[in-house]
């Protein structure tokens, strides 16, 4: 089973819930894997402190032009939607960092003058953390192909246990790539106008993808009840509420997990897992 922990906005406590859920499930003896897909802002490793056992370069295909064969017709530049390849005064220039590896320019070139070469966009690291299989993808600074890196990391999802995917915030392409193929999505939010606004967007996204989902409200006793009312109106199950707690905040700032400072939270996360497993949530 694959559970995606997502949120419409950053800073809602998505990683807190993902790591504590993984830790709790592992504590109770189940095989669990945590994959941090928030490639532009990795922080799951800060809490899980994995021992990294392998590191793999992640590359994507980008065009390389054989200037000998090129006639300067300009068709490649006309096709590219990202201005990653352009023909100036009969000479083709490639801006690899803008390329989305669609392969269009290679397909259209009438002279077969474009070949594909590999460009490194980041690394995927895998290891162990207290019985949890750990993985994350680190995007190189300036690289934009986050979905390709997420795809690579997700290929390592285990078949015979539970995989928890820590999804990037928002509703853009990397988020879709991360939650695609999940069995369940938990949307983490907070009870503020911003939290509600971004939750509505995230709900629209998971409904479009027809994935079962529910909501978790972090710092549930701050702000107002607009998120709770919205969930009630939309018939969305709220499966977890975490009140604001100074002990949790202090532990977070030191990279310590909630279940390690407040062991009673293990029961809450176990209960969350049971709810998800029973698939009570609505589509
Ligand atoms: S399409 Fe091919 S031949 Fe035409 S400009 Fe591009 S690389 Fe050169
Ligand atoms: S592979 Fe696609 S995105 Fe990259 S340069 Fe060619 S047409 Fe543009």
* DSSP string covering 188-200: EE-SSHHHHHHHH
Q: Which ligand has the nearest atom to the CA of 109?
A: 1
CA–CA separation, 150 and 264 (whole Å):
33
CB 35 within 8 A of CB 164: yes
Q: Is the pLDDT of residue 274 over 90?
A: yes
Residue 245 has pLDDT above 60, yes or no: yes
Report which of residues 150 and 41 the model is more confident about.
150
Contacts of 91 (CB under 8 A, 6+ apart): 67, 72
pLDDT of residue 12: 87
The atom number, within ligand 2, closest to the CA of 114 reads: 6
pLDDT higher than 60, residue 281: no
CA 81 to ligand 1 centroid distance, Å: 16
CATH number of 60-120: 3.30.70.20
The ligand 1 atom at the shortest distance from the C-alpha of residue 85 is 6
Distance 62 CA to ligand 2 centre (A): 7
Is residue 144 predicted with pLDDT exceeding 90? no
Q: Please name which of 104, 115, 113 lies closest in space to residue 73, comparing C-alpha atoms.
A: 113
Question: So where are the chain's domains?
Answer: 2-31+158-277, 60-120
Q: Of 121, 139, 79, give the one whose Cα is nearest residue 103.
A: 79
User: Would you say the CATH fold of 60-120 matches that of 2-31+158-277?
Assistant: no
Task: Report strand pairing: 114-129 vs 51-65.
Answer: antiparallel
Q: Above 50 in pLDDT, residue 265?
A: yes
Task: Write the CA distances from 98 to 93, 119, 169, 278, integer angstroms.
Answer: 12, 12, 22, 44
Smallest Cα–Cα separation from 4: which of 195, 181, 147?
Answer: 181
pLDDT over 80 at 283, yes or no? no
Ligand nearest to the CA of 85: 2
Reply yes or no on whether the pLDDT at 234 is more than 70. Answer: yes
Write the class of the CATH domain 2-31+158-277: alpha beta
Dump the DSSP string for 203-268: HHHHHHTT--EEEEEESTTSS-SHHHHHHHHTT--EEEEE---HHHHHHHHTT--HHHH-TTHHHH
**pLDDT higher than 90, residue 38:** yes
Q: Can you tell me the mean pLDDT for 93-115?
A: 96
Lowest mean pLDDT among 1-10, 58-67, 234-243: 1-10
How large is the average pLDDT for residues 130-156? 93
Q: What's the pTM?
A: 0.90
Ligand closest to CA 98 = 2
Task: Assess whether pLDDT exceeds 80 at residue 150.
Answer: yes
List the single range of 48-57, 83-92, 153-162, 274-283 with lowest mean pLDDT: 274-283
What atom of ligand 1 comes closest to residue 108's alpha carbon?
Answer: 1
User: Does the CB atom of residue 63 touch ligand 2 within 6 A?
Assistant: yes
Do residues 239 and 233 make contact, with C-beta atoms less than 8 angstroms apart?
no
Mean pLDDT, rounded, of the chain? 93
The band of 223, judged by pLDDT with boundaries at 50, 70 and 90, is: confident
Closest CA to 254 of 12, 17, 49, 46: 46
**What mean pLDDT do residues 64-75 have?**
96
Q: What is the model's pLDDT at position 282?
A: 43
Residue 31 is classified by DSSP as: -
Q: How far, in Å, CA of 273 to CA of 259, rounded? A: 14
- Give the integer Cα–Cα distance in Å for 274 and 258: 19
């Amino acid at each position: 089973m694959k559970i995606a922990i997502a949120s419409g906005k950053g800073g809602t406590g998505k990683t807190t819930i993902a790591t504590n859920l993984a830790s709790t499930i592992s504590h109770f003896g189940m095989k669990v894997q945590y994959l941090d897909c928030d490639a532009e802002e990795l922080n799951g490793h800060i809490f899980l402190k994995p021992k990294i056992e392998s590191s793999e370069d992640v590359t994507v295909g980008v065009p390389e032009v054989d200037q000998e064969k090129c006639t300067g017709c300009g068709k490649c530049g006309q096709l590219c939607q990202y201005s990653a390849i352009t023909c100036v005064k009969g000479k083709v220039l490639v801006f690899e960092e803008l390329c989305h590896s669609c392969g269009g320019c290679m397909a259209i070139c009438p002279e077969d003058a474009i070949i594909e070469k590999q460009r490194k966009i980041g690394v995927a690291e895998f290891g162990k953390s207290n019985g949890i299989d750990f993985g994350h993808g680190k995007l190189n600074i300036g690289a934009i192909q986050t979905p390709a890196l997420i795809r690579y990391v997700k290929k390592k999802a285990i078949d015979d246990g539970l995989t928890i995917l820590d999804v990037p915030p928002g509703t853009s392409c990397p988020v879709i790539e991360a939650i695609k193929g999940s069995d369940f999505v938990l949307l983490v939010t907070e009870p503020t106008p911003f939290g509600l606004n971004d939750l509505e967007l995230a709900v629209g996204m998971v409904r479009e993808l027809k994935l079962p989902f529910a909501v978790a409200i972090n710092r549930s006793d701050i702000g107002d009840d607009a998120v709770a009312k919205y969930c009630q109106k939309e018939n969305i199950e709220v499966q977890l509420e975490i009140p604001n707690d100074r002990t949790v905040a202090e532990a977070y700032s030191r990279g310590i997990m909630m279940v390690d400072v407040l062991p009673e939270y293990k029961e809450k996360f176990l209960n969350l897992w049971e709810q998800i497993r029973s698939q009570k949530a609505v589509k």
